Amino acid sequence: MRRKWTDKDVYFLEKRVGNCSLSAIASQLNRSETAISLKLKRLGLGNTKNATGFLTSSELAEALNVDRKTVYNWIQFHGLESTSRITCYKRKFYLIDVHSFWKWAEQNQEKIDFSIIEKHALPPEPDWIDEARQTSTDKKIKTYKRWTTKEIELLLKWKKEGLSFKEIAEKLNRSRVSVERRYARCQNS
């Protein structure tokens, strides 16, 4: 037999949607996942992403013409503000506010090639973006370059010969930090 939804249950559901999986909400309310799903649809809360007005990391990546893992990397390691959400059945995704993205982008212009971003792809665009589009064509965005076996052999050889990490980095056309980290990984394995 069907149980009536109380105001307390509806309030709890509204607060938890997007923060917990459907199964977690169902167990806390002592209801079936189907009942929770139907109530969400009736309340107009079925799509947690659309309710916020934010962009997913994949949508942002598509607008910026970069890989979605790049956006995920910005979130994890470079301070791009995002909100973590859970869909009905445990899938987790990140939501990014366009305004906070532009604030972050202004501080991290070296990470983004603005020349490949379509005009008004992420409205409202800030005033500085037009100038950044012009300068982006001249600069080179850092990209990860895989280490070859030959480079690793040269690194180990030159380090044994007493060269500094800075000198090795110049010879291999890599950053000093990259050379140090690769050397440390070679020593550990």
Tell me the average pLDDT of the chain: 84
Backbone angles phi, psi at 116, to 5 degrees: -95, 0
Write the DSSP string, 16-36.
HBTTB-HHHHHHHHT--HHHH
Contacts of range 16-20, beta carbons closer than 8 Å, 24 or more positions apart: 17/45, 17/48, 18/48, 18/51, 18/52, 18/85, 18/86, 19/85, 19/86, 20/86
This model's pTM is above 0.75: no
> What span, in angstroms and rounded, lies between the C-alpha atoms of 41 and 47?
8
Sheet architecture: strand order including 92-96: 55-56, 92-96, 83-86
- Give the pLDDT confidence of 49-58 residue by residue, as tens digits: 655 678 888 8
- Give the pLDDT confidence of 120-164 residue by residue, as tens digits: 888 888 888 888 888 755 555 566 788 999 999 999 999 999 999
Q: CA torsion 9→10→16→18, rounded to 10°?
A: 150
Domain range summary for the chain, segments of one domain joined by +: 7-46, 53-136, 149-188
- Give the pLDDT confidence of 66-106 residue by residue, as tens digits: 888 999 999 998 899 988 877 656 677 888 989 999 999 99
Confidence of residue 33 (pLDDT cuts 50, 70, 90): confident
Report how far Cα 130 is from the mean position of its chain's Cα atoms. Answer: 24
List Cα–Cα distances, 77 to 70, 72, 80, 121, 123, in angstroms. 10, 9, 8, 25, 25
